[in-house]
Amino acid sequence: MSTKGVRDFRPKIHFTPLNNWSNDPNGMVYMDGFWHLYYQYHPERPVWGPMHWGHAVSRDLLYWEHHPIAMHPDEMGYIFSGSMAYDKENTSGFGKDGAIPVVAMYTSHRPEDRHECQSIAYSLDGGFHFEKYYGNPVIDNPGLSDFRDPKVFWNGKRNCWSMILAAENCAFIYASIDLKKWEKTGEFGRKENLVESTWECTDLFPLQTEEGEKWVMLVSMMARPGKGCANIQYFIGEFDGNTFHAKEQGKEPLWLDFGFDNYAGVTFHNYDKPIYLGWGVSPEYANQVPTGEFAGLMTVARELSLIKTEWGYRLAAKPFGLDRFRAAAYPVADGGSLISECFGLKVHGQSGKIIFTNGKKQKLVIEIEEESIRIDRSLAGASDFSEKYCDKLHSVGETKRLLRGDVDMELLFDVSYLEVFADKGLETASMTVYPDVPFEKISIQGNLTAQIYQIQQ
């Protein structure tokens, strides 16, 4: 039970730490049927502090087993965000006695002067215990104030490892044959960037389309133009083995989420499809959330794809691992009761509203129109813990629909977290909400029908 706030806000199927602070997902890798999640963790208080790598493992990306801290701060500083390489060919040379090395690449952050450089550590027991490399750092800082969050991937075009990281307001790309010695091969963003903001947590991965392979770059940004709130921008283009070239951009930036609580997200390594996980709280008020002994959660895992629209290809997402619950969905009528705090809702029709209410007269409103979707959390629950949480920039999330016609939407609600996936996942929204008591009624207005399913262990 939470020790602060009016009640327990811990979600059921979204990852949360056992206690204290968590933020960015790190080092995510799939090995031997298990999903390994490492994450930024402060083990002493439920607010940001000296960063460690927490560790949890799951078979289904819904229910997690917690493990001891994987990496602690050292003489080089805090252990900031990074990624993992499943080095099955032992290119690093760390492997021995048949053990496949798992190599973590992360940012060493020296707090006294904010100096950031890239380091590595390796594990020979499947990612549970790590030995830091004696030759760290493997990439020193070239004189930048922000130089962090390396994301490693296998580069089939050059038959080597490549890595992308955030470098102030752009991304640098490097290559290596052994994960120890790196050369810079390109950069992206100095000319192409449409947003003046510090970049964080970049990712780069391929997706297949009917027109062949395309590459997607994700970039977390603290400033979203016209709205001022943190979000994730994405670019679609080509990777030539050295650098990335954007090809699908229009006049406006492309944003991953029209909600407020999805940041620092990246994809898992060593899986045949890009599976995404993000930090489910905005960094703008994450230190103030009313969740008691823990702070921070992760989004539900999402399988990413590219879908062609009249404006070109756009990134789509769908929840991963929920089929066994969807199979038990049943119709719910206007005025129906919600018997669980963790459920999914499948919505079809043309236009209307979905409203969740509780005995405290609090309400969460999802409004669907032919050309737009709007989510209003301004009256959904606690908000006075932060000046920003429900100000004019963070009360209502709204987006234009990329597909016209009847809506096909899936909502996930989990105690204090809402996720929306509409129009084949082309429009997604993620929002924290903190109702004083659970929502107990659903109102379905307009030309809409809905089916609900419970999510249980």
Q: Which residues are catalytic?
A: 24
* Other beta carbons less than 10 A from residue 157's beta carbon: 12
Phi, psi of 288 (to 5 degrees): -115, 0
As beta bridge partners, residue 94 has none
ω into residue 319 within 30 of 0, thus cis?
Answer: no
Q: Which two tokens stand for residue 141?
A: 């800082």
Distance between CA atoms of residues 433 and 298, nearest Å: 14
Distance CA 345, CA 413 (A): 8
356 contacts 363 by C-beta, under 8 angstroms: yes
Give the strand order in the sheet containing 65-71.
65-71, 52-58, 34-42, 20-31, 294-295
Distance CA 277, CA 14 (A): 10
Rounded to whole angstroms, the Cα distance separating 338 from 380 reads: 16
